[in-house]
Amino acid sequence: MEVYENLTHDRPYQRTLSRNEAVEVLVSEKEKSFDPELVTILIEEVLPRMEEEEVIKKSK
């Protein structure tokens, strides 16, 4: 989760990535740097919930 947040937010040392670009990075690194099961859970369960919450916040 922390890596995803770092990839998708402004940092002085890197450009902000889109959601899709960040997911591509996580998928490409999941066997090398990340637990594959956790990456799958993040992509399939956590990120969709985060998106739903953002939509709810914007509609208020």
Cα(21)–Cα(15) distance, integer angstroms: 11
Residue 56: band (very low, low, confident or very high) from pLDDT cuts 50, 70, 90: confident
Structural domain of 8:
2-59
Cα(41)–Cα(6) distance, integer angstroms: 18
DSSP state of 8: T
Q: How confident is the model over 55-60, as a mean pLDDT?
A: 79
- Overall domain count for the chain: 1
Is 0.85 surpassed by the pTM of this model? no
Q: How confident is the model over 32-44, as a mean pLDDT?
A: 94
Contact 9, 16 (CB under 8 A): yes
As given in the structure block, the two tokens for residue 60 are 């208020």
Instruction: List pLDDT tens digits, range 16-29.
Output: 999 999 999 999 99
SS3 state of residue 47: helix
Paired strand residues for 14: 11
